[in-house]
Amino acid sequence: MHGLSNIHELMAQEGRDEKGRFTEKNLYAQVYNERQGRPRLYDDPADLIEKGVEFFEWCLWARKGKLTSAGLRLYIGLTRTSYHNYSKNPDFMNALDYLETTLEDYNELKLGWAGSTQGAIFWLKNKAGWKDESDQNINTTVTELKVEVDKNSPPLEDKE
């Protein structure tokens, strides 16, 4: 057992500083401080946009113009979770918003095309926040107004 006077010496031998934290020379600190998890696929938002545009071009040729959010994520190599994590990163927010807006624009345009538009309507409601709403303006005319006074109520006072 080491005495209290030797504690700093022991900590130095273990690779700790005076507060007990591991120093950079300690193997544990080196492993702990290394990047955790899978390395990032994209370090530059421009690379992500380039890959997304490549997906759109591929869809027009190979998928007959069928663009989906899941298809985009698969093509650029991101899971739903990693896509969400990238979207929270300030460096990638605009890039992912650009790609999602492109999908939204495609589905909006599809509403004007001939043929079935149910898929586009479904996508716009579930992915782009569109809603079925209708405003109704109802005008009525009151022809008779009948006022009844309850005899059991207290009398009104005129304070003028």
**Strand partners for 16:** 22
- The count of domains in the chain is 2
- Please indicate, yes or no, whether residues 49 and 122 belong to a single structural domain of this protein: yes
Asked if residue 55 is part of any domain, the answer here is yes
Residue 143 lies in a domain: no
Together in a domain, 71 and 96 = yes
pLDDT at 22 over 70: no
Could you list the residue range(s) of the whole structural domain that residue 53 is in? 45-127
CB 93 within 8 A of CB 45: no
Task: Encode pLDDT of 77-108 as tens digits.
Answer: 999 999 999 999 999 999 999 999 998 888 77
Q: Do residues 117 and 60 share a domain?
A: yes
Same domain, residue pair 29 and 63: no
* 25 inside domain: yes
